[in-house]
Amino acid sequence: MSSTDTAPARNDGDTAEVGAGLDALDSVAAQRSSLGEVLRTKALPPLIGVLVVLALWQGAYSLHLTSSYKLPSPADVWRSLQDLWYQGTLFSIIWTSVWRGLSGFLLAVVIGTPIGLVVARVGPVRTAIGPVLQGLQSLPSVAWVPAAVIWLGINDSMMYAVILLGAVPSIANGLVAGIDQVPPLFLRAGRTLGATGLTGARHVLIPAALPGYLAGLKQGWAFSWRSLMAAELVASSPDLGRGLGRFLEDQREFSDMSGVLLGIVLILFVGIAIELLVFTPVERRVLRDRGLLASTK
């Protein structure tokens, strides 16, 4: 057999091998991690980090680096937590803030998403509003509290106004950034198939911009939570109930450092819990659907 006869066969064999290799990469089976592996890789490192922080904290307290008035021990903070538990107010304090934060965030999504779409797709609007959104995103949320109190009074409307002013720019800017990264070919293909206007935004634009949009949502939640804490710290009224920010300020007024540290820990705990329970699973699913995660580990 001549070399000219064997060349096509060799090329066909190489192509088949390359195709088989690509198929193997595309069909990576999702491997389910064992419980021990999950505990070792996911739960153990954060636990070690918490234990290190507690050890350093206890060490600083035991060495009397400062007065116990300024730095209570972890046990003192634990007793403050027990006091709230026995009083039956722990969950009500947490839920008051969580409900405000989540409902305000969802309202910010409803408002920020269409704003982001319009800014991303309409050039004159982007030129006029884009810099304003960027500036609002960098403005500290607490700066809106005095104005919101004057405009709306000390009530729930003021709280939600501060949340929206803090979260909407982040959500809109995240969607704009995501849309900017959508390949133009996707948009042309969508128009060819008749997906224009709101239909194109729903079925082509937002799904293609989902990673950037999700990043904006995560940042929007962070700003919602921070804005709410700022509003609860500054504004005080019996009609508002007692959330985590108000609890923190009450402990400051009572000069109870154990309560202050407990409030900080609870605020941090809620933020981490929302991140792990809501955004992390959604983010993993989005990345997995786009082939950016080889397994479910």
For the chain, domain boundaries: 94-248
Quick one: which of 153, 113, 142 has its CA closest to 231? 142
By CB atoms closer than 10 A (0-12, 13-18, 19+), residue 165 is: buried
pLDDT of residue 242: 87
- The pLDDT tens digits of the residues spanning 200-229 come to 666 677 777 788 888 889 999 999 999 999
The mean predicted confidence, pLDDT, of the chain is: 81
- CATH domain 94-248 topology: MetI-like fold (1.10.3720)
- The pLDDT tens digits of the residues spanning 37-94 come to 766 677 777 788 888 988 998 898 888 888 888 889 999 999 999 999 999 999 999 9
Residue with token string 């064997």: 6
pTM of the complete model: 0.79
